[in-house]
Structure 1
């Protein structure tokens, strides 16, 4: 049975120094090069940057560009080394699925925002949605301020009223992508400060015939409430006609754990503002949440 290559000391095998990540000191599975020319395992350098570090761990030079360039040559050499030592129990590292190309994301975003053809816009947004669903890495590439701001504009371009199905399709697809992304305080304000946008969310989460569209609207409501960081903004969202009722209705759904989760998360996020707690209780949130906790627990088991 092959042994893992994660431990530094493998029985009878010495891992070449330049195959080891300078951060973890373990065999690199997905080597990437940063702007200083140093190579690290992707998971290690991403964790390094995510904790607030802005310098190269080896050179201590500032990371002026956080782009991670896959080091395909080194990965292939490491894979060949693994194969050569297979008899000693070393497994070949898999070829990692690379994150979405930022240039592709920009191209799709341009098509979604600028094309005069509805079909082209919908196709571009669906491709973005597919990429976002594939992996956390893709969502990290997609989730830039430019992308999120553009998606907000597309998602609410129809005003507060729901449009005919075909005309509303780009907005629905943009909402579906937004549902997978966090929003900053500025982006949340771009939604919450516009009454017609809040009204549209209230309409969608309560009245849209598609359950998926209702769930996506609820996820965006949660993202706005979390990103807002302001009790006043959360109170404004929670006070919008249909928002509390729509979230409670989702929390009451039977046989749809995703709807229940999104509804409950949205209620909790809004109830961070005291003004919304009475509204939630009046809408039946307490009974809905208590009634579905057991179902959620069983679905997670």
Structure 2
């Protein structure tokens, strides 16, 4: 059985967002996202204080066993054949792995087989991934292959490499700086490989590629290089508009958010029809919390420029879907939603947007938010929104008084 077939047949919500493998012991963080216990424990043990999927700062590092999901996974596992690697590579010794790594630069036609065995070794356990991350020159060797060669002949190898890099980056976050140093002088040679994978690769390799782009985009020079490669950016945006699984959509959204740091980029994102795509995502009631948060965060970013506000007000389904999500997801999602509504209803006073908010019971939600323990910025933005609707409303809201002052969210 081909490994790609196995990857497709596994229900997406059975897979850990970190390891992309079926969870053995699913546990949920305070953000509501579920991970395999060993993967999230390793993440936290490495000194991280954020949720890997949402990048929210964790108020608590405690996690709770997701017993319902555990029972579902067990029931599903009992109904399918065991998923064992066909080449038996997970049983490789560390000495054998070292030997495979030494042979990578000269293995020629056998390189794909060597990389496949190393990849299966990496997927087997957290300890194996840490072992690979600490081998001298391993990362530099595979990054070198990513930045060089005949793309048409190497796509399978490139897929293996970017997945391996994604796995070991999860185990050793400080590798980002090392990888950036390796590609800083030849990033333009690296990006065609990533673009090719985003176009023609498997779902698993597309997820890894999107995460890799996010990992190297902490530097302004890297962001500029990525953004300038038009085809790559288009493929990244296209990934959220496809029927891809949620893990792929989230990875693409995270990467786009990390890159969207200027008006020029925002305009480029908007021209690619991203607002309509995000609206479609928000209307999907089955979309998990972390994906909704990222979709709303990107809309918040886009709403800070004129082109973004225009695109949002021209698609009133977008405004309606934002109102529907208000107070139903998380505090961070609510804040993003309120910023967008403030931008179109208060800042530019778009009457169509105001009317859409009113028709979708948005006034009651805004008023309720003012009476909850929301953040100061949400309270002030809601106060501004109430000023707008108090003027136009003939209901009891017209007598509602607010002491909030005019602010800009950025």
TM-score tier (shorter) = 0.5 to 0.7
Alignment correspondent of 1:146? 137
Q: Does 1:175 align with 2:162?
A: yes
Q: CA deviation at 1:218?
A: 2.3
Corresponding residue for residue 123 of structure 2: 133
Deviation for aligned residue 1:146: 2.1
Partner of 2:101: 109
Alignment of 1:40-51 (within 5 A): 50=46
Q: Could you tell me which residue of structure 2 aligns to residue 200 of structure 1?
A: 193
Does structure 2 conserve the Cα–Cα contact (< 8 Å) formed by 1:244 and 1:283?
no
Q: Matches of 1:203 and 1:273 in 2, distance apart?
A: 26
Counterpart pick for 2:250 among 261, 265, 275: 261
1:287–1:48 CA distance, 2 compared to 1 (3 A): closer
What CA distance in whole angstroms lies between the structure 2 residues aligned with 1:274 and 1:142? Answer: 40
SS for the counterpart of 1:254 is coil
**Equivalent in the alignment of 1:10:** none
Looking at structure 2, the residues matched to 232 and 213 of structure 1 have their Cα atoms a distance apart, in angstroms, of: 24
Q: Do the aligned partners of 2:203 and 2:244 also contact (CA within 8 Å) in 1?
A: no
Query: Scaled by the length of structure 1, what TM-score is found?
Result: 0.55
Q: 1:234 aligns with which of 202, 205, 223?
A: 223
Paired with 1:289 and 1:189, the residues of 2 have a C-alpha distance of 34
Give the length in aligned residue pairs: 203
Larger proportion of helix: 2
User: 1:155, 1:172 within 8 Å by CA — same for their partners in 2?
Assistant: no
Cα-to-partner distance string for 1:53-109 (whole Å, 9 max, x where unaligned): xxxxxxxxxxxxxxxxxxxxxxxxxxxxxxxxxxxxxxxxxxxxx998654432221
Using a 3 Å threshold, how does the CA distance of structure 1 residues 48 and 263 change in structure 2: closer, same or farther?
closer
1:152 Cα deviation after fit = 0.8
- Rate the CA distance shift 1:49–1:244 in 2: closer, same or farther, 3 A: closer
Residues 265, 150 of structure 1: alpha-carbon distance in 2 compared, 3 angstrom cutoff? same
Distance in structure 2 (CA, Å) of the matches to 1:168 and 1:202: 11
Q: C-alpha displacement at 1:297, in angstroms?
A: 0.9
Query: 1:224 aligns to what?
Result: 216
Give how far 1:143 is off: 1.8
2:279 matched to 1:279?
Answer: no
Shift of 1:170: 2.5
CA distance in 1 between partners of 2:240 and 2:221 (Å): 24
Unaligned runs of 5+ in 2: 1-37, 49-89, 170-174, 292-328, 330-410
**Paired residue secondary structure (2:287):** helix
Q: Which residue of 2 aligns with 1:122?
A: 112
User: Cα gap change, 1:178/1:273 in structure 2, threshold over 3 Å: closer, same or farther?
Assistant: farther
With the length of structure 2 as denominator, give the TM-score of the two structures: 0.42
Measured after TM superposition, the shift of residue 50 of structure 1 is: 4.1
Distance 2:246 2:208 in 1: 14
Aligned to 1:247: 236
What does the per-residue CA deviation read over 1:236-265, in whole Å, with 9 as the maximum and x for residues that have no partner?
212212122111111112252222122112
Matched residue SS, 2:243 = coil
The verdict on how the C-alpha distance between 1:239 and 1:289 changes in structure 2, with shifts beyond 3 A counting, is: farther
CA contact (8 A) 2:159 2:201 kept: no
Deviation at 1:224, TM superposition (A): 1.8
